[in-house]
Structure 1
Amino acid sequence: MEANHCSLGMDLSYPDLVIDVGEVTLGEENRKKLQKTQRNQEKARVIRAACALLNSGGGVIRMEMANKDERPIEMGLDLEESLRNLIQDQYLQAFFETKQQGRCFYIFVKSWSGDPVPKHGSFNSRICSLSTSLYCRSGTSVLPMSSRKAFDFLKTKEIESKYNLINEGSPPSKIMKAVYQNISDSNPAYKVFQTDTIEYGEILSFPESPSIEFKQFSTDHIQQYVENIIPEYISAFANTEGGYLFIGVDDKSRKVLGCAKSKVDPNSLKNVIARAISKLPIVHFCFSKPPVECSTKIIEVFRGKELYGYLCVIKVKAFCCVVFSEAPRSWMVKEKYVCPLTIEEWLEKMMDADPEFPPDFAEAFESQLRLSDSPSLCRPVYSKKGLEHKADLQRHLFPVPPGHLRYTPESLWKELSSQHEGLQELINKQVQPFSQGIVILSRSWAVDLNLQEKPGVICDALLIARNSTPILYTVLRELDAEGQDYCTLTAFTLKQNLVNLGGYTGKVCVRAKVLCLSPESSAEALEAAVSPMDYPASYSLAGTQHMEALLQSLVIVLLGFRSLLSDQLGCEVLNLLTAQQYEIFSKNLRKNRELFVHGLPGSGKTIMAMKIMEKIRNVFHCEAERILYVCENQPLRNFISDKKICQAETRKTFMREYFDHIQHIIIDEAQNFRTEDGDWYGKAKTITQREKDCPGVLWIFLDYFQTSHLDCSGLPLLSAQYPREELTRVVRNADEIAEYIQQEMQLIIENPPVNIPHGYLAILSEAKWAPGVSGNKKIIKNWTMEQIVTFVADTCRLFIERGYSPKDVAVLVSTTREVEHYWHELSKALRKKRVGCLSDASDMSSDRVILDSVRRFSGLERNIVFGIHPRTTDPAILPNILICLASRAKQYLYIFL
C-alpha cells in the first residue's frame, strides 16, 4: 500500500464522511495558468477523494480555494472531465453537486450504485475505478479495458477455468488453437524471432496486426522507455491471443532501425525487461497457476559488415488467466484513511454478484436487496417466501401518514413524555415546521445501530420528513461535552448504514442536533457544530415515495442479521427479522432483565438469542466474556461459540463450573434441560442477580413441543414464567414439512406428555406459517439398513447434481449408539457415489454430510434432512421427537420408520 495514497485529511467530527483535500485552484482560467505538475497533483487529490467516497457510501469533499476569487466560481473543465471519467461518462450531477461558501468549496458525493432500472446497454460495475489497469489488443492498438469490458473479461476467464477444471484433458478451444497459430512456426514474426542478426533498414515482410506491434526506441532514457511500455503491451498481448512486441522498427515503413550499440547494453536491457515483466500483477482462476510466459530476443543489427546496434523482440504467450499492468486505480475509505484497493479487494468487489442458489432452493427465498443495483459495500438481503417484504415491514413499523407527523412507537412516546416533563414540548417545537413525516423514537439509536449506549441520554428521535433531510435529535438530561460526539457518531453511523447496509441509492445525509431538557438550560436546540455546510436541496426528501424508500433501507438496517445461509453459500447473506421478532428484540433490556420466550418450532429462537446477546453488549457496555450462552448439546454450543459474541457452555458444564465473571445469561432450548446435576435455573438467577444495584439479563428460550424427555426440566411452573413473550410466526420449513409438524403437534395436544403444561398448548392456535415454499416430505416404512443407506447416498447425489452441497444435508438417528451403527456403511455409500465424507454435528462449518442424533442436532438446521428410525423409550414423547426431527429440515424431509 502506498502511504501517500492515504494522506488525504479525514474529518471525523461530521455526521458524514468529509475529506479535506487542502488548497485547490478553481476556475477554468485560473487552472489554465497552473504548471502541468501542480494541476495534475491537485486533480489527483480530488479524484482520489471522489473515488473513495463513491465506493464508501458517499460524503463530502472539502477544499480551500487557492485562488483569491471571492465571487462564485466553477471547478474547471479538467476537474469536471476527470470526475466524468470516474463515473463512466454519466450525468455529472447524478453523483456530484458543488457549493461554495466563502473560500470553502464543497463537492457533495452520492454513493456509487448500479442502475435500479438499467437502460439498454447500460452497466455500472460494483466498484468505481479511475482505471482497471487491464489492457487488450484491438486491431493494431492497445486499449484499456473499461469497467464493463473488464467485468466481461474476468467472468469469461473464471468460467473458462471452471470448465477446464471439470473437463481436464479435453481438446483446446478454438480460441487456444488460434493463439497457438499466432505464435507458431507459421507466423512470419516467429522467423525473425529465431534469427540472430538482421540488416539495418530491412523492411519486414509483415505489417502490424493484433499479434504484432512495432515500436521505435526513444532517443533518450532508452531503458526507462522500454520499462514504461512493458506493462501495457505485455498485459494486452497476454490478455488477448499472445503476440510479438518489436522494439526498434518504424511502425509506418516497417523498416528495422534498432538502437545504436553506443546507447544500450543488451544484457542490461534484457534484465530491465525481465524485471518489468516479473512485476506485472497476475491473478489466477485456474488450479495450476503458471507464470506469464515471455521470451526476449536481442537481435544484432548490422550495417553492411559492421555491428550498428540491436533490435529487441519480446514473444508473449496468451495467458490462461489475467495480467494487470499495475494494481487497479481505485480507492475506499478505511477507518480514518483514503486507501487504494489491493488487486484482491478490487477483484472481490468487481466480481461480486448475488449468490447462486440451487434452482428449487432459490424458489424458497425472495430478494429484498440485490447487489446489481446497490452501493458497493452492500450485501444481498433475502427473506423466506411468505414472510413480510421490506415494504410490508416498513408500512407496519414505520408508516408515513398523509398530511401530518406521526410519533412511533406510540407506547414509548407516551412513556417518555410521562416520565420527562417538558420533553413533549421540546421535541414538538423542533419538528413543528414539518407537515408530513414520521418521528421514530428510541431510548438509544446508538444501541439500535450496534454502538454503545451513553449514560445521560433520555432518548433519541429520528425525523424523516417531507422537504427535509433526516435529522437525529439527541435529548440529554444535562449538557456535557460528550453529548455532541455521541449524537454526531450516531448520525454518522446511521447515514453510513442506510447506504452501505440498507442499500439506499438516493442522495442522503443525517443532520445531528443535541437538545437538553435540564431546567437550568434554555432548552434550545444546539445545532451540531459539525454541520456548517448546507447540503443541496436534492438531499431533502421530496415526498412520500422518497420517505418510504429511505425507511425501507432503515428496515434492513434495524431488522437485518447475518443469515445462517451464509456459511452454506460461501458468501455473506442477510435475512430480516419478522415484525414479531423485532418487537421482542426492541424491548427495553433495563426493564426486561428476565424474560421467558416461548417459540414454536422454526420460529427463530436461536437467531433471537444471538441478536439479544449483541444488544446486551451495547446496552450494558460489557465484553463478550461477561455474557454466557447455555444450551443442552455440544454442537449448538460450538456453533454459537464460533460467533465470538459470548461464552458458550452446555448445561452440564454450567452446573459444574464457577462463573464469577458472568453477568448476563441466555438459555436456549430450555425444554430439554434436566435437574440431574442440580437446579440450573436457580443458579442462573443467582448469578444474574448478585449485583443488586445492576442485575444482569436472564432470557430463557424454549418450546415444550420439542421436549425430548419425561424428566423434570427444572423450569418454573408455566404460571411463574413471567414476563413471557411468544414467537408464533414459523419461518423455517417448507409447506409440506410445516403441515407434518402441525399434525404431530395436534397429536400432542390430544394426548400431552405429563411434563408439558396444558396452558402452553394454546400457543398452537396463535401459530402462523409462512406459506408458498416448495419442498417435500416423504415417510418410508420397513426398509433395511442397506436399503436406507443406498437411498440416502443416491438422493444426496441427485441433490448435488441440482446444485446443493454436502453441507446442505443432515442424517439424524435416535441415539449416539446408532450413529456408530450407521457410520461405516453410510460413509462407504457416500464415497461410492462421490458425495463426500461424514462429520458429526460438532463440525457444522465443514463441507460434509452431518450424521448425528436428533437430540444433539437440536437448535440447528439443514436444507435436507434424513431421519432414520426415530424412536424413544417412552412412546408418549415420540410426537415430540418427530417434531424436533422434522423442524430441522428447511426444504426436504425423509423419515424412515
Structure 2
Amino acid sequence: MFVVFSFVLYFKFTNHETVKPRTPPSIKPGKTRNPRQCALSLDPQPRCVFAGVLCNFQVLMDMENHNSSLVVELSYPDLVINVGQITLSEVNRNGLEDTQRDQERKKIIQAACALLNSGGGVIRMAMANNHEHPVEMGQDLERSLREFIPSSELQTFFETKQQGRCFYIFVKSWSSGPVSEDGSTNPRICSLSSSLYHRSGTSAILMDSRDVFKFLKTKKSNAKTLEEEPSCKVRKVEHRQLHKLNPASLIFQKDQLEYGEILPFPESQHVEFKQFSTKRIPEYVKNIIPKYISAFANTEGGYLFIGVHDKSKKVLGCAKENVDIDLLKKKTEDAIHKLPRVHFCQSRCQIDFTLKILDVVANGELYGYVCVIRVEPSCCPVFSEVPKSWMVKGENICSLTTEEWVGMMMDTDPDLQNFSKDFESQLSLCSRPPHTRPVYSKKGLEHKETLQQHLFSVPLEGLQCTPESLWKELTSEHEGLEELIHKQIHPFSRGLLILSRSWAVDLNLQEKQGVICDALLVAQNSPPMLYTILEKQDADGQLYCTRTAFTLKQKLVNTGGYTGKLCVMTRVLHLSPESNTESFEGSGSLIYYPESYYLVDIQQMEALLQSLVIVLLSFRSFLSDQLGCEILNLLTMQQYEILSKNLRKNRELFIHGLPGSGKTIIAMMIMNKIKNNFGCEENEILYVCENQLLKDFIGKKNICHAVTRTTFMRNLNFEKIQHIIIDEAQNFRMENGDWYDKAKIITQRRKDRPGILWIFLDYFQTSHMDFSGLPDLSAQNSREELNRVVRNADPIAKYLQDKMEMIKKMPPPNIPPGSLEILHEAEWAQGVQGNCEIKWFSAMSGIITYVVDKCQFFLRGGYSPEDIAVLFSKTLEVEKYKDNFQKAMKKRRMSQNNDTSILASHILLDSVRRFSGLERNIVFGINPRAAEPAIFDNLLLCLASRARKHLYILMLRC
C-alpha cells in the first residue's frame, strides 16, 4: 500500500495580537477571529477551518496520479482516504467509458462506507479534469453516496469542497439514530448490500439494512428453539408436510417431463421458474443460485426450476448437446455449499437442499434436461455473498467478513437482567457510532453530566484553564508559558482550555520527551484544537501532536459516543527563546473543514465534554467477561483524581482504601499509565499481592509481571523491574524478609531515574496478628485515601459499616493507631438492592444442602456459576469439605435435568484470605472462624466485602 509519511501538520492562526491577560484560571477573551471562506458544492461558502500539511510537491503530484488503490493517509489528525484521480462534473463523467466510471464510483463507495463505519473522516481525490472554477461531483457519484444515506439525510453525513485540484468529501461518523414510530431504526453499521434475500410473493427481494436486525434476531431466536426437543422434530415434520402440499413436490418426484408440457402450477412464494441461457450453462446456473437459494432458505423453503418458461410455465429444458450433466451438478452443488452462512445453532447445520436433474423427452426421445433444486428453510441466515460493507482497520480499508457484519448488525445493549437495578446506563448503543461500547455506572454514583460539570464546567463567559492546580504548577515551572498560551487563546470568546502534562498518556499512548504540556481547547465558534507546547523545536513534535489529536478524535467518537461532526485541529508551539513560537516550515496543502465542524453553542460543547468524560474515566468492567461482551464503567471523581496524579512527583504513594472502593481497579490502571509515562515494557512493571487467585487475575491482563509476596521475596531475578505496585498490603507479613525494603531498593537503584512504588492497603481488612512490614503510619508521608465504597449492595454495605465501627472501637494490636480514622469520611453509594443474611445450622450437612438449594435458585434466575463463591476460613477446610459439596451438587444436577443444573467445577470454593482483592455477585461464607479472636471481625469484614449483591454467612452452632 502506498502511504505518504513526509507530511507535517500545522494550524495557522490569524490576528495574533498580544493582550495583557487576567489572572488565571479565568482569561478575558478578545474578539472571535474572522474565519476564512471556501466554496462547498453542497453548502456554498460556509466558514471553515483547516488541517495543513507540508509536503514535497512532486510527492503530492505522484500521490494524486496514483489511481490504482485507496490509500489511508497517516499524516492527518483525522482519517483521510486518498482515492486517487476522479473525473468530476456531470459533463465530463458522461464522456467516460462505463468501466472507468464504475471503477471511480466503486472507490468512492468503499471509502465513504469505510469512513462512516470507522468514526468519520475525509475522502480526498485529485481532479482528473483540469478545472479552475468550482465543479459539481456528478450525479452518479452523488447517487453513490445516497446508497448509504436517505436523500433527506445526505448533508447530515456528507459535505463537499473543492480546493485547487483537490476535491474533498467530509464524512461524519455513522449513528443509527432514534427509533421511529413504527419501531424501526437505522442499522448499526452502513452497508452497500446486506446480501440477504427473502421470498416475497414471486420475487426474491434483497433485504433492506433496516430490516436486517429484526430478521437476524428472529433467526437467532428460532435457531435456539429448534434445537430443543421435541420442537425440532415437530418443525421438521411441518416442513415436510408443507412440501407435500405444494404441487411442485409431485413434479419433483418424477424422473422425466415432456418437452413443451405446461406445469399445473404458477410461480409462487415457494416456486421460481428460470430458463437456461443459450451458452455457458453451468456458469449461468452458478450465477443465479446465490440469490434464489438465499431467498428460499431464509423464508419457508421452495423449489427452483431451471428450464421452465416463467410466463407460459412450459417445460423447455436445455438441449442435451449443450450441457454436461456431471459438470452442471458439480457447479450447482459447489455454488450452494459456498454460500456464506452465520451459524446461530450449535449444530452448525449446512444448507439443506436436494438437487435433481429431470429428463426432458420430445416424441419419445431424450431432448435435454430440467434442473430442479428443493431448498429447506434454514434455521440460520444464508447469504448470497459476503455483505458489502467496509471499515478502516489500521492502515487498510477492509471488507467486513460475514461474521463481523452480523455481529455488528446485531450489536445491542447487553441484557443486564440480573443487574438492571444495580447499574445506570451512561451511554447506550442506540443512536451511537458503530464502534461504541455501552457504558454503565453503579447506582448512587455520579452521572457523566455531573462528572462533566465537576471536571469540565463551561464558564458563562470568558475562557478558563483547567485544572487550576496544574495551570499554576506549569506556569510557575516554565517562564513565559502563561504569556504564550494567552496569546494563542486570545481570539476565542468562551470555553475551556483543558491542560495535561501529556494528553498522549491520558489516551493510553506513550509520552514524548521534551513536551511541557498539551492543551485541548474546547471553545465556542471553533473546532476542538490540541496544542502541544515543547521545550524547544523538535522535528517530531508535530507527528506527536498529530498522532495524539488523531487518537483523541477517534476515542471521542468510538469510545465517547459523540455523534456530531468532529475534527481536532493541531498546533505545535515552542517555549524556548531561541525557537520561533510556532512550528512553521513553509506553506503547504491544506484541508479546510466546513463550518458545521465548529462548536456553536454550550449544548454542543457539553455534549463533546461528556464524551470526553467517558474517554478519560471509563475502564473495562468486570461484567464484560461474565456477559461475553465489552462493557465499560466510569471511575468516581476520587478514583480519577488519584489516577491523574503526576507520577514523577508521586513516585512513592500509599493509597488507603476502604473495602470496595476500587483499589485493584486503580492499581491496574496506574500500571498502564506507568507504561506510557516511562515507555516501559510489561516485564519492567511488577505487581505484588498476597494471594495466588488475585495474582492470576492480574497476570491475565497482560499489563505487568504479577507475583505473590512469597515469590517476590524468594526470587532474586528482578533486574528488569523498574516499577512496583503492591496490592492488599495489609495482609503482607515479614516471614520471608522485609518486602518493603526490597521494593524500595529495586525502585530506587537508578538514582537518576527512580521508579514508581505505589502501595494499596486497607487496615480494616487485616486478617492476621503479625507485623505487616508496612512503615509506620507517620512515615507514610505521601498518602491518599479512597473512602467512597462503590461495590456492595445496600444491606451488605450496612453490615460492613457495623463491622468497621466494631473494629475501630477494638482494633487488633498490629493495626497502627490513627489508621482507621478514614471511617469518619466514608461515603456509601446507595440504591443497589441485595440481601445479607446470617443463618445458624446444627451440622455441616445442613449448610451444604442450603448452599446447593440457593445455588440452584440463582442459576434458574439467570446467574452463572462464575457469579458464585463459597468461602471457608482456611484452606484446610476447603479440602476437607470440597468433595462433600461437589457430590451434593452433582446429585442435584442428576435429579434436575435442565439448563440451570449446577456445574460444580465452575463454582469457586476457596478460603477468605485467598479470595482477598476479588469479588463475586453471590458469596457464601461457611462457618467463618479466626485463629485469633482479635481479628474475627476483620475476617467477617473481608468476607462480606467480597459480595456485590448477595451475602450468606452460614454458622455452625457449637
TM-score normalised to the size of structure 1? 0.96
1:836 to 902, 918, 927: 902
Residues 319-366 of structure 1 show CA distances to partners (whole Å, capped at 9, x for unaligned) of: 22121111111111111000001112112111112111234x211001
2:289 to 225, 230, 245: 230
Please tell me the residue identity of whatever aligns with 1:822: Y
CA contact 1:212–1:243 (8 Å) conserved in 2: yes
1:807, 1:373 → 2: CA distance?
Answer: 32
1:766 to 825, 828, 832: 825
Please tell me the residue identity of whatever aligns with 1:103: R
Residues 363-410 of structure 1 show CA distances to partners (whole Å, capped at 9, x for unaligned) of: 100111112222111111111000011111111011111111110010
1:722 to 756, 767, 781: 781
Partner of 1:842: none
Partner of 2:614: 556
Instruction: Report the CA distance between 1:420 and its aligned residue.
Output: 0.9
Instruction: Report the CA distance between 1:210 and its aligned residue.
Output: 0.7
The 3-state SS of whatever aligns with 2:772 is coil
The 3-state SS of whatever aligns with 2:697 is helix
2:128 to 66, 79, 96: 66
User: How do residues 847-862 of structure 1 correspond to structure 2 at under 5 angstroms?
Assistant: 848-862=906-920
2:149 to 87, 90, 111: 87
CA contact 2:859–2:902 (8 Å) conserved in 1: no
Residues 75-103 of structure 1 show CA distances to partners (whole Å, capped at 9, x for unaligned) of: 22222222122135551011111111111
Please tell me the residue identity of whatever aligns with 1:169: P
**TM-align CA RMSD:** 1.8
The 3-state SS of whatever aligns with 1:250 is coil
1:177, 1:390 → 2: CA distance?
Answer: 54
Partner of 1:53: 115
Please tell me the residue identity of whatever aligns with 2:342: V
CA contact 2:256–2:360 (8 Å) conserved in 1: yes
Please tell me the residue identity of whatever aligns with 1:207: P
Residues 406-435 of structure 1 show CA distances to partners (whole Å, capped at 9, x for unaligned) of: 100101101111111111111111111111
Instruction: Report the CA distance between 1:528 and its aligned residue.
Output: 11
2:230, 2:401 → 1: CA distance?
Answer: 34
CA contact 1:182–1:243 (8 Å) conserved in 2: no
Please tell me the residue identity of whatever aligns with 2:613: V
Instruction: Report the CA distance between 1:868 and its aligned residue.
Output: 1.1
Partner of 2:495: 437
Structure 1 residues 878 and 824, CA, compared in 2 at 3 Å: closer, same or farther? same
1:149, 1:40 → 2: CA distance?
Answer: 28
1:156 to 193, 218, 223: 218
CA contact 2:248–2:303 (8 Å) conserved in 1: yes
Partner of 1:487: 545
The 3-state SS of whatever aligns with 1:628 is strand
Instruction: Report the CA distance between 1:141 and its aligned residue.
Output: 0.1
Instruction: Report the CA distance between 1:453 and its aligned residue.
Output: 0.4
Instruction: Report the CA distance between 1:5 and its aligned residue.
Output: 14
1:461 to 499, 513, 519: 519
Structure 1 residues 251 and 527, CA, compared in 2 at 3 Å: closer, same or farther? farther
1:122, 1:546 → 2: CA distance?
Answer: 27
TM-score normalised to the size of structure 2? 0.90
2:248 to 174, 178, 189: 189
Residue 793 in 1 paired to residue 847 in 2?
A: no
Please tell me the residue identity of whatever aligns with 2:243: I
2:328, 2:875 → 1: CA distance?
Answer: 71
1:37 to 86, 93, 99: 99
Please tell me the residue identity of whatever aligns with 1:632: E
Please tell me the residue identity of whatever aligns with 1:151: F
Partner of 2:158: 96
Partner of 2:941: 883
Residues 211-242 of structure 1 show CA distances to partners (whole Å, capped at 9, x for unaligned) of: 10011112233222111101111111111111
Partner of 1:304: 363
Instruction: Report the CA distance between 1:70 and its aligned residue.
Output: 2.4
Instruction: Report the CA distance between 1:120 and its aligned residue.
Output: 4.2
Partner of 1:285: 344
Partner of 2:760: 701
The 3-state SS of whatever aligns with 1:781 is strand
Instruction: Report the CA distance between 1:803 and its aligned residue.
Output: 1.1
2:314, 2:779 → 1: CA distance?
Answer: 98
Partner of 1:295: 354
2:306, 2:766 → 1: CA distance?
Answer: 80
1:681, 1:19 → 2: CA distance?
Answer: 54
Please tell me the residue identity of whatever aligns with 2:838: I
Residue 403 in 1 paired to residue 473 in 2?
A: no
1:617, 1:398 → 2: CA distance?
Answer: 27
1:367, 1:342 → 2: CA distance?
Answer: 30
2:68, 2:728 → 1: CA distance?
Answer: 49
1:237, 1:639 → 2: CA distance?
Answer: 49
1:131 to 178, 193, 196: 193
Please tell me the residue identity of whatever aligns with 1:98: T
- Compare 797-806 and 599-608 and name the one that shifted more: 797-806
1:447, 1:136 → 2: CA distance?
Answer: 50
1:461, 1:435 → 2: CA distance?
Answer: 17
1:596 to 654, 661, 682: 654
Residues 248-286 of structure 1 show CA distances to partners (whole Å, capped at 9, x for unaligned) of: 111111111112223222222112111211211122211
Instruction: Report the CA distance between 1:110 and its aligned residue.
Output: 0.8
2:598, 2:237 → 1: CA distance?
Answer: 59
1:329 to 388, 393, 405: 388
CA contact 1:55–1:375 (8 Å) conserved in 2: yes
Gaps of 5+ in 2: 1-65, 894-900
2:801 to 717, 729, 742: 742
The 3-state SS of whatever aligns with 1:131 is coil
CA contact 1:651–1:680 (8 Å) conserved in 2: yes
Partner of 1:180: 240
User: How do residues 607-646 of structure 1 correspond to structure 2 at under 5 angstroms?
Assistant: 607-646=665-704
User: How do residues 555-574 of structure 1 correspond to structure 2 at under 5 angstroms?
Assistant: 555-574=613-632
Partner of 1:845: none
Instruction: Report the CA distance between 1:118 and its aligned residue.
Output: 4.7
1:252, 1:809 → 2: CA distance?
Answer: 66
- Compare 411-420 and 853-862 and name the one that shifted more: 411-420
Instruction: Report the CA distance between 1:173 and its aligned residue.
Output: 6.0
CA contact 2:689–2:727 (8 Å) conserved in 1: yes
Please tell me the residue identity of whatever aligns with 1:548: E
The 3-state SS of whatever aligns with 1:533 is strand
CA contact 1:5–1:339 (8 Å) conserved in 2: no
1:169 to 198, 210, 230: 230
1:229, 1:475 → 2: CA distance?
Answer: 62
1:172, 1:364 → 2: CA distance?
Answer: 41
Amino-acid identity (%): 64
Moved over 6 A (4+): 527-531
1:279, 1:5 → 2: CA distance?
Answer: 32
Residue 686 in 1 paired to residue 745 in 2?
A: yes
- Compare 206-215 and 827-836 and name the one that shifted more: 827-836
Partner of 2:331: 272
Partner of 1:844: none
1:822 to 861, 881, 891: 881
- Compare 89-98 and 858-867 and name the one that shifted more: 89-98
CA contact 1:57–1:110 (8 Å) conserved in 2: yes
1:27, 1:181 → 2: CA distance?
Answer: 59
User: How do residues 332-411 of structure 1 correspond to structure 2 at under 5 angstroms?
Assistant: 332-359=391-418, 361-411=419-469
1:808, 1:274 → 2: CA distance?
Answer: 47
- Compare 127-136 and 482-491 and name the one that shifted more: 127-136
- Compare 884-893 and 5-14 and name the one that shifted more: 5-14
Instruction: Report the CA distance between 1:179 and its aligned residue.
Output: 3.2
Instruction: Report the CA distance between 1:531 and its aligned residue.
Output: 7.8
The 3-state SS of whatever aligns with 1:298 is strand
Instruction: Report the CA distance between 1:28 and its aligned residue.
Output: 2.3
CA contact 1:514–1:526 (8 Å) conserved in 2: no
CA contact 2:176–2:189 (8 Å) conserved in 1: no
Instruction: Report the CA distance between 1:148 and its aligned residue.
Output: 2.6
CA contact 2:68–2:84 (8 Å) conserved in 1: no
